[in-house]
Amino acid sequence: MNVGERIKFPFGGKEKEGVVTRIFPKKVYLKVDFPKHPGKVVIRSLAELEGKVSREKKKAKKAKKEKATRSPEKKGEEKKG
């Protein structure tokens, strides 16, 4: 992957095409043309674009975050009762 290269990446359940503008060790900056926002810069992780991150890992991470945010709510319910 090089600067100026056109690549396809997942975006909102669909596939978008963008031009690589910057590359860092873990992040890639892509310039994408949207209907109402031409030239928008989208940041993606390099691992995600190369396909190293599986969807199951993303779901597990998301579930872990939800679980962490739910625990204070449960504590509040116990105090009320």
Least confident window among 13-17, 30-34, 41-45? 13-17
Give the whole-angstrom CA distance, residue 56 versus residue 64: 12
Q: Which residues contact 31 (CB under 8 A, 6 or more apart)?
A: 18, 19, 21, 39, 40, 41, 42
Residue 28, domain extent: 6-80
Q: 19, 38, 46: which is closest to 30 by C-alpha?
A: 19
pLDDT of residue 70: 67
pLDDT of residue 13: 86
Please tell me whether the overall predicted TM-score, pTM, comes out greater than 0.75 for this model.
no
Residue 70 lies in a domain: yes
What mean pLDDT, rounded, does the chain reach? 82
Average pLDDT over residues 37-57: 83
Average pLDDT over residues 12-35: 93
In the chain, how many domains are there?
A: 1
Residue 1 lies in a domain: no
pLDDT of residue 80: 59
